[in-house]
A and B are shown apart, each in its own frame.
Chain A
Amino acid sequence: MTIIETRDLTKRYRRQLAVDRISFTVEAGQVFGFLGPNGSGKTTTIGMLLGITTPTAGEFRLFGEKGRGSLHRVRRRVGATLEQPNFYPYLSGYDNLRIAANVKGVGAARIDESLEVVRLTGRARDRYRTYSLGMKQRLALAATILGDPDLIILDEPANGLDPEGMREIREIIVELGQRGKTIFLSSHLLHEVERMCTHVAVIRKGKIIRQASVHDMLAANVVAELRGPDPVALGRAAGEYPGAVGACREDDGAVVVRLDDSDLGALNRYLAGRGIYVSHLGVRRRSLEDAFMEITTAGEEVAA
């Protein structure tokens, strides 16, 4: 089932095209990473999905529904935080959740459960004002899962957390994903997306420049590392390989080739055909970070 579907969703501020004809789909059960650098339009997009920001053009559906009334109805199945946690500073964490619980129509038991999940039970009666940033983020997560939503939308949930805090949040999100929740989370922390998400869309300057499963994103454009007795000849031949996007020779004699697919065998056959035999042929482990840098820098060049 398609949980989120946008078609040419666009938001123009007075002088800024913040989101430019974005189309993407999120299917049930996906942990979907919405990846982009600062100011790329992540928050604006999420704001439109949540009914906070009015789209300039385009449309979207949540749980297959569109239109103000229907969207308002299905938003009961959505738990979300937009940008930083937003709470009443003079109220305790508990009372803040009580207000959200009243709106969502859930009882006190759910408040306690949610506080338990984010490990905030001990400080729940303290004023929100006195919380550390990490505690504020965790209270936001508690509010998000309060209504036991089918779709969880998080805008940079790990923003400003220390590694330990990030790990905790990550564990909670992964566990929610395993329980079958659909999760849409924005981030500029690629490493985090790589570890949590099953799918990813990369946004830059308001445009989606890539959407794939994390697996495919990592597999595409394999970077092969080659070694052989004659690095110069190897480098030249590898550079002329039709499937190569680029090749370079490193100081230690390794030749690095970026392929437009993941077929190392074809590369090897091509080199052998030219009489070049390699002593080492391997794949460089790439993180999503590399993929991301590549994609976004490529976008830069296109834009320039």
Chain B
Amino acid sequence: MTALTLARNEWIKTTRRPALWVTLLCLLAIVGIVFFQRYSSGLSNDDVTPLRLPDGWAFILGEPGPMPAIFGAIVVILLVASEFSWRTARQNVIDGLSREQFYAGKVLLVPGMSLALLGLVVALGVAFALPGTGLSDLTGPLVGLDDLAFAGAVLLSMVGMGAMALFIASVVRSSGPAMALFFFYIAFGEQLLAALAARFIPAVAAVAHYAPGQVFMNMAEARIYYPSLQEAAVARALERGAAAPVFPSATVLVGVALGWTAFFLLAGFLAFRRRDL
């Protein structure tokens, strides 16, 4: 049993699943609208520079916000929880996978799905940005180091959210309730828990923004990775006479995100292994 075999089976299960394609289309439609608005205002409005590369990367990667991560999580929940409701997880193990191998297949799904979704979003963004990009009069590289760092952070936020989804699906084992729990948690649950915890342990308030949902959602923000955007924001604030904004450290965010991701993958495995199939 090799990782390749696991990947091949996950590929069959995933790509033939109609629910996956529906979810992907929804994501592309939402992101497509965002990109199209920016594209058309670049055409019709003289004050707005057209969407173009390389300066459009921050927009393409950052403007969809947490959408790709959330849709990635939905797909992970759908694909993992149904293995329990159809009892195919059971059959996979009967057919000869160890529980570790079965779970490893699902773990592969998380970065795989994140890469695929991010790739689609980027491809769509590039499609809108290419008409405005004069490839012949490019002076620097098409993709800068800041762009790569940002893309990596967006990918990590998607992987993190996917790991959280895998954990929830491994515990709840049923897609409806798992989905509900996931959305409740990222929309209110986490803040609620943080506020509650802070009442008893005041120190929690200081680190509440390192809660996993916060980290995964906030780290996909362009300004954290582009010094030029930060300088512009500081200049605008000073112009208004306001205090200069402070930006979270990218290194710390990435470190915390990696930590939470590892935690969710491990906790999901322990929850999965403990129970009968």
- Chain A residues engaging chain B, CB cutoff 8 angstroms: 47, 50-54, 72, 75-76, 80-84, 86-91, 95, 98-100, 102-105, 143, 147
Contact = CB atoms under 8 A, between A and B. Distances in A.
Contact of A147 (B87, B96, B277): B96
Given A47-B276, A91-B12, A103-B9, A86 B91 contact: yes
Interface of B is mostly: helix
Contacts of B95: 99-100, 103-104, 143, 147
Contacts of A50: 93-94
A80 B92 CA distance: 11
Contacts of A98: 12
28 contacts: A47-B276, A50-B93, A50-B94, A51-B93, A52-B90, A76-B96, A81-B94, A82-B90, A84-B87, A86-B86, A86-B90, A86-B91, A87-B86, A87-B88, A90-B16, A90-B17, A90-B18, A91-B12, A91-B16, A95-B16, A99-B12, A99-B92, A103-B92, A103-B95, A103-B96, A103-B97, A104-B96, A105-B5
Nearest to B89: A86
B8 A102 contact: yes
Contacts of B13: 88, 91, 99
A86 B88 contact: yes
A95 B16 CA distance: 10
B98 interface: yes
Max chain A C-beta neighbours (<10 A), residue from B9, B88, B93, B95:
B95
Given A103-B95, A143-B91, 10 more contacts: A52-B94, A52-B277, A75-B94, A86-B88, A87-B91, A99-B9, A102-B5, A103-B5, A103-B96, A143-B95
A166 to B, nearest CB: 23
A100 B1 CA distance: 12
A87 to B, nearest CB: 7
B274 to A, nearest CB: 9
B250 to A, nearest CB: 41
Contacts of A75: 94, 96
Contacts of B98: 72
Contact of A52 (B1, B12, B276): B276
A90 B21 CA distance: 13
A102 B16 CA distance: 17
A54 to B, nearest CB: 6
Contacts of A88: 13, 86, 88
Nearest to B16: A91
Contacts of B96: 75-76, 103-104, 147
A145 to B, nearest CB: 12
Interface in B198-224: none
Contacts of B9: 99, 102-103
Nearest to A50: B94
Max chain B C-beta neighbours (<10 A), residue from A47, A53, A72, A102:
A102
Max chain B C-beta neighbours (<10 A), residue from A80, A87, A91, A103:
A103
A82 B89 CA distance: 12
A102 B92 CA distance: 10
A102 B93 CA distance: 13
Contact of A103 (B1, B17, B86): B1
Contacts of A147: 95-96
Interface in B176-197: none
A143 B92 CA distance: 11
Contacts of A80: 94
B82 to A, nearest CB: 8
